[in-house]
Amino acid sequence: MSALAPPVAAALVMGRTVLDAEVTLTRDFAPRRAQGTLATGTLSSSFRADLPEDGRIDADAKVRLSAGDGAMIGVELPDRLITIGETNLALTANGPRDALGWSLALDSARLQTTEAQLEGIGLRLAGEDLDTTAANAPLALTAKLTARHLQPLIDGAEMLAGPLTLDARATVDPAAPGAEIDALTLTLNGIETTFDGAVTRRPSTAATR
């Protein structure tokens, strides 16, 4: 499938692609259970979801990305190349659709961009009471990012080389242009910075002549 995939995803579907899935439907074709696996030369994944009539959701998924033998995988973006080491991702969702609990856990051996290289990366995100029945429901979450070593690749930023830790609590409102940061602590090589308040996005403007 790599020949059919866009450049950004080509490295994820190298080699043979195998999909094995099973879906259980009601007589009205409403899904009640789904499970399956997907594997390529660099990616292996599994998923499961139970959707009973009471409207609850019980689902999880796991993804492993690896080229083997410590090799890096390149992901081409329009303006840069990102290389990724062995990475494992786990997702869960459980609860009623109008008060869903969810979590994301990501562990990666290495990640490199034009600006920096990270080793021993761990990311944890979690939230509760997410209303999936509302189009623009606020998303309250906790986040923790760790890296065993950060190596800046930008001139003048060498002093920041070392371990990295970020802890945050925030609420993202899709209807608003930003997020409300309840608390954020960033530690870079022993230098600690804290922040709280609103983070907003500037509206994009188009130049006219």
Percent of the chain past pLDDT 70, that is, above it, reads 92
Does 122 score more than 50 pLDDT?
yes
Predicted confidence (pLDDT) per residue in 55-76, tens digit: 899 999 999 999 888 888 888 8
Select, from the ranges 10-24, 152-166, 191-205, the one with the highest average predicted confidence (pLDDT). 152-166
User: What pLDDT was estimated at residue 166?
Assistant: 97
Predicted confidence (pLDDT) per residue in 150-172, tens digit: 999 999 888 889 999 999 999 99
Residues near 57 by beta carbon (within 8 Å), at least 6 away in sequence: 49, 50, 51, 93, 94, 95, 96, 97, 100, 132
